[in-house]
Structure 1
């Protein structure tokens, strides 16, 4: 990834997938989302330390998701016009500060402020990293997005596991150790930024970000984007219930310990990581539309069974749900990028931002619902959301694909 060597790379190599770069941003994504998932994973600890209600837990998630979702489309739009390669390590600086504040938080408002800082890190990281993934893809956009995304999902799955092993035994202040991961990510992303800066004006960069004809009218593109937004809503509103409240659900319904509940959350998030790596490459071969409707609608039967399952079958079902539903996002994102070619940052920021925003709104709404009714009732309501996957049948088939880098 050393740009000093980049001028010696011949034209033929620009037709190859830059796996080294994809691995670097995937590892950075792993570290980024691992640090973010620590916030979600220590909710039981924060709830006990500050005597929080479920509604307050939802507000913490909302602050984190809102700072991400609000800024991402704006940053994506700006960087489409003026790419900012070295914004990648800067993004990790926000996460670094947020983790340090979270480790020392003394009351509920300071926890909310820490969550917002961590969210700001994501708002800068995701649009530009998604552009790097597309640039490194050599035309295999689904594969590149899946490699990028799987890092984030693996990181999310590690958060609860590390929280169970480190934060639950040693307390809130041990969160500070996770800030070292932010420093490591900054070093990796500095090297990625140098590669990115060089290739902005190379054959690879110009080809990967160029505009192509999709064969669709403006009206068809807008309608397709609306359908995709509905699908993102159903996916992430449902996932908000699992990410934010699954540990509480297990503890309340089955009487398991905090640590055991964290291990169960790891099972779900690990399944999400596995599903992510499958969705992109499969979409490259069989079509993204098929992957999109199959993943979201395919999760519906298992989601409907979940509220009635025993502890063992609950774990089996959430594993299957995570595996199936996670395959959608890479396909959705690349499909949207192909709908609006040449606007990689804007589309990536919009969809990452919407994903975070829906998760935040969902967490807050479901937290209030849990306070008013019960955590079990929340899972009955959420079980119907994947049925919205049927709207994927309305997506058009595009005649042309984006040219290879």
Structure 2
């Protein structure tokens, strides 16, 4: 009898979101994700400016990246787990308010310590935004979960891809003070999220009524599922470690090796991130055709040879190669989130916090490691070693496919 009750609960979670897709909510929350991540993108975009004007070394820059990402990563799973039990729609605009003050502090910071404090406020804002926003996207997706996460995540990746343009068009001519313009971006995001939080609150009321009537509860998670989730976290960590290497330090490789200007070097990072945004959007539909596990595997193993080749290419060819790498590497971005949701149904906030936040924060550790090693042996040599990281994606082969996940969940009902 107990197994039958659990099976009914599992089926309820699999069919809970059978409502129609709310496209306008999806596109709005995706747009706010773009605004949020464009604000976050100001931090790495400022690295060449801070290195040139304040004389920061690679280790100091790595610590700045570590501060913003680890603040967000440590808090996101905690916020997500808490909001799974106690949803907080108003946390969405509150979170972006923290980001607004963080950006103001970053623009006006007179010292290294104030910069660290300001980017930590940005991290708090990100931690508050992502778990709840991911749940909004999940709710608005209806039955089209892959599409919903693709729309939501491509907004974030598009925002991140603006970092090189921010450097070239705003920070190079205006310097550190140019970051103050992004307080207006944060204010716009806060206003939009006031509307989204009202819609989110209404949906929560509807869902809570349905859950009380159905007796639905989150299914118990077995050992095999937990192992698969830990492996997924590791793979996302490896992907983000390499991602941090490219976005934070590849411009320095181009400047040092080929004598490029800062604004020209940033074009390469823009191509990497823009192609990644396209890959993020197309990854979901591709996964619908060939399976999520196959996309996850292709994302790492397919990119690995190009990543190893990249440090040996010249300035013209590297522009092409880095674009292809961005597309392949990040086509698993939204897929990894949906895959994690399948592993742990009913824990959308916590799962989103782990995948989008915690694993990314672990990847930010790479910023410190790469920065410190770069100070010792040179950034170009360091990036050469980092290029072998995607080879670890071979462990994706040990992840269960979608059918196996359902079998594992059903086996745990007995």
TM-score, with structure 1 as normaliser: 0.91
CA distance in 1, matches of 2:30, 2:383: 32
Task: Flag the 1:142–1:211 CA change in 2: closer, same or farther, 3 A.
Answer: farther
Residue 77 (structure 1) aligned with residue 77 (structure 2) = no
Residue 158 in structure 1 maps to residue 162 in structure 2: yes
Which residue in the other structure is 2:141 paired with? 137
Alignment correspondent of 2:299: 295
1:337, distance to aligned residue in structure 2 (A)? 1.1
Other-structure match for 1:387:
391
Which of 186, 189, 193 matches 1:189? 193
Cα pair distance change 1:14/1:197, threshold 3 Å: farther
> Which position in structure 1 is the counterpart of 2:175?
171
2:162 is paired with a residue whose SS is: helix
Shift of residue 397 of structure 1? 2.6
Q: Deviations over 1:256-289 (max 9, x none)?
A: 0011112221111111111110112222333211
CA contact (8 A) 1:136 1:144 kept: yes
Work out the CA distance in 2 between the residues paired with 1:356 and 1:336. 14
Q: CA deviation at 1:223?
A: 1.5
Quick check: 2:291–2:401 contact (8 Å CA) kept in 1?
A: no
Indicate how the Cα distance of structure 1 residues 147 and 229 shifts in structure 2: closer, same or farther if over 3 A, else same.
same
Q: CA RMSD in A?
A: 1.9
Q: For residues 232-247 of structure 1, what are the structure 2 equivalents within 5 Å? A: 232-247=236-251
Whole-Å separation in 2 of the counterparts to 1:348 and 1:249: 33
Pair 1:267–1:397, CA change in 2 (3 A)? closer
Task: Give per-residue Cα distances to partners, 1:318-338, cap 9 Å, x unaligned.
Answer: 101110010112111111111
Residue segments in structure 1 that go unaligned for 5+ positions in a row: 1-12
Q: Distance in 1 between matches of 2:327 and 2:204?
A: 35
Q: Distance in 2 between matches of 1:76 and 1:205?
A: 21
Is 1:54 matched up with 2:58?
yes
Deviations along 1:48-90, one digit per CA (max 9) or x if unpaired, are 2221110000000000111100100100010000000111011
Q: 1:270 aligns with which of 271, 274, 281?
A: 274
User: Against the structure 1 CA distance between its residues 144 and 204, is the aligned structure 2 distance closer, same or farther, given a 3 Å change threshold?
Assistant: farther
Corresponding residue pairs, total: 386
2:229 corresponds, among 210, 215, 225, to 225
- Alpha-carbon distance in 2 for matches of 1:64, 1:206: 39
Deviation at 1:398, TM superposition (A): 3.7
Contact 2:41 2:160 in 1 (8 A): yes
**Which residue of structure 2 lines up, in the alignment, with residue 32 of structure 1?**
36
The correspondence of residues 107-118 of structure 1 with structure 2, limited to 5 A, is 107-118=111-122
CA contact (8 A) 1:135 1:204 kept: no
Q: Do residues 355 (structure 1) and 345 (structure 2) align?
A: no
- Post-superposition shift, 1:392? 0.9
Q: Identify if the C-alpha distance between structure 1 residues 255 and 205 changes in structure 2 by more than 3 Å, giving closer, same or farther.
A: farther
Note if contact 2:238-2:363 (Cα within 8 Å) is conserved in structure 1.
no
Alignment partner for residue 104 of structure 1, among 82, 89, 108? 108
Query: Which residue is equivalent to 2:206?
Result: 202
Partner of 2:289: 285
SS of residue paired to 1:139: coil
State the secondary structure of the residue aligned to 1:256: coil
C-alpha separation in 2, matches of 1:255 and 1:81: 54
Question: Do the aligned partners of 1:14 and 1:203 also contact (CA within 8 Å) in 2?
Answer: no
1:359 is displaced (CA, Å) by: 2.8
Q: Is the 8 A contact 2:108 2:177 kept in 1?
A: yes
1:88 equivalent in alignment to 2:98: no
